[in-house]
Structure 1
Amino acid sequence: MSDVRQVIGISGGKDSAALSIYLQENFPSLDLEMYCCDTGRELDETYELIEKLEAYLGKEVKRLKAIETDNMAKPNFENSEEISPFDYYLKDYGGFLPSSHARWCTKNLKLKPFEEYIGDDPTISYVAIRGDEHREAYVSTNENVQTIFPFKKNIWSFDVISLVLDHHNIGQFRDIYENKVKPDNLNRILEEVERPISVEHNLNRKTKTLIDLDVTAFNYAVFHFLKKTDYPLARLDDFPLLDKSHLMPDDQVIVRDQVFKMLERTVGVPEYYKKIEYEVDGQTGTYSRTRSGCFFCFYQQKIEWVWLYENNREKFDEAVKYEKEGFTWMENESLLELAKPERRDEIKRQHLKKKQNGSSKKSKTLLNNLLDDNEKGEYFDKEDEDYAGCTVCFI
């Protein structure tokens, strides 16, 4: 048995759940460990999804907590009915709520438990960035951790690509192609391997060209190159994700619509993703929660706070309890101010206007640009998909 651990973090969101299913169904030889970093303030649907995954996959999702609070006294401020890991750190930070400028929640409640969980063990971490996304994910800086992106055509992290295609390593990479991989179109591939990186032909373009010429050959060449490094993959004799040609072409790169279909046929889609109609000034729009994570996450759009108020009042009221003068979830507006009927209507108007004005704008994701409106399905929302947040929590 290999001493390399292979792990996948389950955020409670659609993509990480789908990735765990995808890997078990298509690469059953992987000895996967599943974990979730529990803040104690996740949406109820998050915990329900984790339980359904455990039942479907027949594997435990290890619950990681930054600190065990079960036997602790309640905090001495009136913010919650019970203490959770989030409450513990909130007290430690003097009631200073996390924000996009001070993400102490990510550092202490998500990253710290993960890094303590794996320790110094060589680890491959599978991350659910989809093939239709053009965004970065958290890649651990720990030397014992290597990140792989199974949903993408290019499964490798930027640090690996930069190393392999560095001009000092081109000779070694060429030798690997010639003597170990030996693809049918070797001469054309070697032309690209030896082509210098320039402003016109940058690293991304060079990588894409090599992958498009033969993605399986590229993966094997990278794998052989890493054998002489300290990356965790160097310890493995083989790696099943190098060759995805046994899958249907559409299953080699997974996009948003496939994620939802995967969940629909297995564990179900969390209710908070489903679009709910709202009405303002005689016009109808739709809203929903667009990501997993804590129910009071500061990355929520204001329309999502309105959704929470109108569809899960209990959680909204809990979020209100955390606010005090100078400490609010949103900049320059408290939840009590947002909850006023006239303010909620104003946010809905702004949301409708933004969606209408933005319908002609080009999206950041490939899928948005390829599909017609009638093809995007029940869960699709261009604005939601373009809205970036902390990928540690949401994928």
Structure 2
Amino acid sequence: MAEKHVLGISGGRDSAALAVYVRQHRPELDVDYFFTDTGKELPEVYEFLGRLEGFLGKPIARLNPRRDFDFWLREYNHFLPSPQTRWCTKQLKLAPFEQWIKPMLAAGDKVTTYVAIRSDEDYREGYSAKHPNLTVSLPFREAGIDKKGVHDILESSGVGLPKYYDWRSRSGCTFCFFQQKIEWVRLKERHPEAFEEAKSYEKNAIEHGSPFTWSKGEPLDELEKPARVIQIVADYDRRRQRELARRPVNPLRPAELQRCEDLDELFGEDEGGGACVVCHK
């Protein structure tokens, strides 16, 4: 019997900050870091993982699902995943993690998994342990670390934020259904090949009777039309300016509100709001 410590990296800010935090505050722990790789991630995510590995001084294990997105899409009758049916999270994120720790638990090891739920996220529950030898630890919640604290950890460590935060509010697959419409526009601008792949998946799903499109109520071939793009950008700019005008400015952090990460606060649940608890972290 042994004690194991594992920490999942999503490619996002919170889980990266937690890895830095645990490395700094619990250096005696031999932590195994892992990343569940769907094969559909943003290239900026892989760049960030390399940067984080440099700080941690240890490789981040890549967990690949035994069956890829295309296999599961066929299994689910070509219906796209959606906020109502998040089969991608279950099959491509959670299942690989559970398979990875299964031999540890079978050997009688006690496994602690560290999850990056912040103190300002009372509404999040995170992963629920399904084995008596598996313990879920929430260091940020216990230490009272919020979003500002996460930024401070990443900035002071030199790791910084993933580059996709310049234009996107979350990590995860290129065609994540939690994206805002402005993020779909920016995906087309920055990674047109990924946008085209998302369109092909959506077209195939619609042909098979899927009730869902990637962006709620609007297929991508309509969203990408020039007039529609202009409307989406203008709508985003108006709402963003209203939000910036409403908030008090922190003189010590004048650029804090300029980041794309505030998209969820701008648009909320009406347009893609919410996030996969695995990918978002």
Q: What is the TM-score with the length of structure 1 in the denominator?
A: 0.60
Whole-angstrom CA distance in 2 between matches of 1:289 and 1:298: 13
1:92: how far off?
A: 2.4
Which one-letter code corresponds to 1:260 in the other structure? H
1:179-212 C-alpha deviation (Å, 9 max, x unpaired):
xxxxxxxxxxxxxxxxxxxxxxxxxxxxxxxxxx
1:359: how far off?
A: 5.5
Q: Secondary structure at the match of 1:392?
A: coil
| 1:381–1:14 CA distance, 2 compared to 1 (3 A) | closer
1:142: how far off?
A: 0.5
Q: What is the percentage of aligned positions where both structures have the same residue?
A: 43
Indicate conservation of the 8 Å contact 2:34/2:62, yes or no. Answer: yes
| 1:17–1:256 CA distance, 2 compared to 1 (3 A) | same
Indicate conservation of the 8 Å contact 2:36/2:92, yes or no. Answer: yes
Q: Does 1:320 align with 2:212?
A: no
Q: Does 1:273 align with 2:184?
A: no
Gaps of 5+ in 2: none
Corresponding residue for 1:384?
Answer: 264
Corresponding residue for 1:146?
Answer: 135
1:15: how far off?
A: 0.9
1:334: how far off?
A: 1.0
Q: Out of 254, 257, 260, which is 2:145 matched to?
A: 254
Corresponding residue for 2:174?
Answer: 295
Q: Between the two structures, name the one with larger relative contact order (CA 8 Å, sep ≥ 6).
A: 2
Whole-angstrom CA distance in 1 between matches of 2:125 and 2:51: 25
Q: What is the TM-score with the length of structure 2 in the denominator?
A: 0.83
1:46: how far off?
A: 1.2
Whole-angstrom CA distance in 2 between matches of 1:266 and 1:389: 26
Indicate conservation of the 8 Å contact 1:131/1:254, yes or no. Answer: yes
Which one-letter code corresponds to 1:60 in the other structure? P
1:290-317 C-alpha deviation (Å, 9 max, x unpaired):
0000010001111111111122222211
Q: Secondary structure at the match of 1:138?
A: coil
Whole-angstrom CA distance in 1 between matches of 2:39 and 2:243: 36
Corresponding residue for 2:101?
Answer: 118
Q: How does 1:4-153 map to 2 (within 5 A)?
A: 4-67=3-66, 85-119=68-102, 120=105, 121-143=109-131, 144-152=133-141
Q: Secondary structure at the match of 1:309?
A: helix
1:208-243 C-alpha deviation (Å, 9 max, x unpaired):
xxxxxxxxxxxxxxxxxxxxxxxxxxxxxxxxxxxx
Gaps of 5+ in 1: 69-84, 156-251, 275-287, 362-367
Corresponding residue for 1:352?
Answer: 237
| 1:8–1:370 CA distance, 2 compared to 1 (3 A) | farther
Whole-angstrom CA distance in 2 between matches of 1:148 and 1:356: 38
1:91: how far off?
A: 2.5
1:310-335 C-alpha deviation (Å, 9 max, x unpaired):
22222211211211224421233111
| 1:7–1:369 CA distance, 2 compared to 1 (3 A) | farther
Larger radius of gyration: 1
Indicate conservation of the 8 Å contact 2:168/2:260, yes or no. Answer: no
Indicate conservation of the 8 Å contact 2:40/2:174, yes or no. Answer: yes
1:261: how far off?
A: 4.0
Indicate conservation of the 8 Å contact 1:137/1:392, yes or no. Answer: no
| 1:271–1:90 CA distance, 2 compared to 1 (3 A) | same
Whole-angstrom CA distance in 2 between matches of 1:66 and 1:348: 36
Which one-letter code corresponds to 1:271 in the other structure? K
1:381: how far off?
A: 5.0
Corresponding residue for 1:227?
Answer: none
Q: Secondary structure at the match of 2:18?
A: helix
Which one-letter code corresponds to 1:42 in the other structure? E
